[in-house]
Amino acid sequence: MADVIDTELLLDDVDSPIIMQDECAELKPILQDFVQAYTENSDKPVSEWLSVKLQEHLPEALLFLGTAVLLLVQKIRTGC
């Protein structure tokens, strides 16, 4: 009889795995930290706090992602 895999998957619209449940659990405190930082700094330009927060959580190899996130957040805040 085949082994039973007891792992839940989060699925997208085409039923392919996006992220495993344990990966999601590891990501949750990071996302909470970003939301808290956004709330605490909502009166400041994103450029003043987001880069620092990204450096805390992302490896250097992924810092290019920070630029994309920064631009996205700025567009969201300005409505453009």
> How far apart, in whole angstroms, are the C-alpha atoms of residue 76 and residue 80?
7
> How far apart, in whole angstroms, are the C-alpha atoms of residue 52 and residue 30?
13
Check residue 78 and give its pLDDT: 76
Which H helix or E strand runs over 50? Answer: helix 46-57
At 59, the amino acid letter reads P
pLDDT digits (tens, 9 = 90+) for 47-68: 888 888 888 887 754 655 666 6
Q: What is the DSSP letter of 62?
A: G
pTM of the model: 0.51
Residue 40, pLDDT above cutoff 90: yes
Check residue 61 and give its pLDDT: 44
pLDDT digits (tens, 9 = 90+) for 14-35: 655 556 777 778 878 888 898 9
